[in-house]
Amino acid sequence: MLVLTVAGILAALSGVVLYFKLKSMRLVDRVKLQMAIHAKLRIPQLFQLTGLDTRMKPKLTQFTASNGYKILLPSPFTVAVNEILKFKVREDDVFIVAYPKAGTTWMQEIVWLICNDGNIKEANKQLLTLRSPFLEIVDCHLRNGFQSLENWSRNKQRVIKTHLPYELLPEDIRKGKRCKIIYVARNPKDLCVSYYHFHRCSKMLKDPGTWPEFFANFCSHRVGFGDWFDHTLKFWEKYQEDKEKIYFETYENLKKDLRKEVESMSKFLEKKLSEQQLDAISEHCTFDSMSKNRSTNMSMLGQNSISTKKSKFMRKGQVGDWRNYFTINQSLAFDELYQEKSKERDLIFLLEIEF
Ligand code: PPS
C-alpha cells in the first residue's frame, strides 16, 4: 500500500515537473519535441492507414507577428516567425528569399555550390534541405529549420532559405547588419500554376480546389505567404536602395543563361571561382540534372509529404507553362491587375523565352 502511494506521489510530481518544463520551453522547441514524438509513434502513417489523414492537414492562418505585420500563412509556418524577428544574423550569411515556387530550391543549390567552391561531390552526399535550412520551419525529419541555424557551426557559412516577406526578416537585417540577400522572382503566371500543382501534391497545404478556384484565391491573396505583389515589389524596391546587399534574380534569366547568372552571382557573393567550377555548377544545376538528383529533387520526403501520384516537386521547370492553364479572360484580368499593382515600377517579367 505504502509503495503504491509513494509511486503515485512520484508519478504526480514528475507530471508536474514535465508540465512546467514543457511550459518554459520556447514554442519552436516544444513543437519540435511534439513532432519527434509523432514520428516515433508513426502517427501520420496511422492516420494515413485509417483514412483519417485529412485531419493532419494544416489550415491557413491569418497571423499577426509581434511587430504588427499581418500575413496569411500555412499554420506550421507561424510557429517560428516571432523568434525569427530576433534571429541573430551573421556577416557572412546568405539569405535566399523567394515567394513560394519562384525557384527557391534551384537558387539554394546554385548558391550553396558557389559558397562551397563548387564542391559537387559534397553536395551530392547531403540533402539540400540539410545543407541549406528553411528558416521558418521547425527542425524535423530530413528538414532542417530555425533551430539548426541557431546552432550552426561558426566555421561554416549559412545559406538560408526563406519565403518570408521583407517585413518579417530578422530585425538585424532592417537595422543594417551586413549580410547578403538573393531574391528570386518568377513571372507570376507560371508561379501561380506551379503553386497550384504544389497544393495538389503537398500534404502540408490545403487542397487547391479547381484551377479557376485557385487562380481566384491567388489573385485575391488567399494563399500561403499572402500577396505575391507585395512580396516581390517590396524586394524590388529594397534592391534599388542597396545593390551591394541585395541581388534581384529572376527565374526566367536563370533559364535563359544559367552560366552567365552563376558567374554574376559569384561576383556578388565575392567568391572567386574558376571557369571550370562555373561550368560545373551550371551543368549540375539544370532542371534535368537536379530532377534526377536525390539530394535536390525532394524525393526523400516521401509520400507523407508529397503525393507523387498527383504531381511532382520538380514538375516541369519551364517558362510559359501558364499558357496551358490560363484562359484568355484569366490572362487579361491578371494583366490588368499587374498593371494596376506595379504602376510606376519598371519590373517586367518574361512570359516566355525564345531561344
Ligand atoms: S518551394 O516549394 O516554394 O521552395 O518551390 P521552389 O523551389 O521555389 O519552386 C519550385 C519550382 O522550381 C522548379 N525548379 C527548377 N526549374 C528549372 N531548373 C531547375 N534546376 C529547377 N529546380 C526547381 C520546379 O520544377 C518548380 O516549378 P514547376 O513549374 O512547378 O516545375
Regarding the beta carbon of 132 and ligand 1, being less than 6 Å apart is answered: no
Q: Span 92-114, mean pLDDT? A: 98
Q: Span 189-197, mean pLDDT? A: 97
- The pLDDT score that the predictor gives to residue 346 is 81
pTM to 2 decimals? 0.92
Ligand 1 centroid to 252 CA: how many Å?
Answer: 12
CA angle 227, 229, 232 (to 5 degrees): 110
- The pLDDT score that the predictor gives to residue 48 is 66
Residue at grid coordinates 527542425: 139
DSSP state of 235: H
Tell me which fold the domain 60-343 belongs to: Rossmann fold (3.40.50)
Regarding the beta carbon of 105 and ligand 1, being less than 6 Å apart is answered: yes
Share of the chain above pLDDT 70, in %: 96
Q: What φ, ψ does residue 110 adopt, rounded to 5°?
A: -60, -50
Domain map (residue ranges) of the chain? 60-343
> What is the best residue among 127, 232, 314, 350 to mutate for testing ligand 1's pocket, by most ligand atoms within 8 Å of CB?
314
The helix/strand/coil state of 324 is helix
Greater confidence (105 vs 9) lies with: 105
**Confidence band for 329, pLDDT divided at 50, 70 and 90:** very high
Write the CB contacts of 184 (distance below 8 Å, at least 6 apart in sequence): 96, 97, 98, 102, 103, 104, 106, 107, 249, 250, 251
Regarding the beta carbon of 104 and ligand 1, being less than 6 Å apart is answered: yes
Q: Which amino acid is at 323?
A: R
Q: Look at ligand 1, atom 27, and give the residue with the nearest C-alpha.
A: 317
For 279, the grid coordinates are 561550368
Lowest pLDDT segment from 281-285, 329-333, 348-352: 348-352
> What is the best residue among 182, 284, 287 to mutate for testing ligand 1's pocket, by most ligand atoms within 8 Å of CB?
287
Ligand 1 centroid to 139 CA: how many Å?
Answer: 22
Q: Is 163 a catalytic residue?
A: yes
- The span from the CA of 237 to the CA of 132, in Å, is 26
Share of the chain above pLDDT 90, in %: 70
Q: Is the pLDDT of residue 54 over 60?
A: no
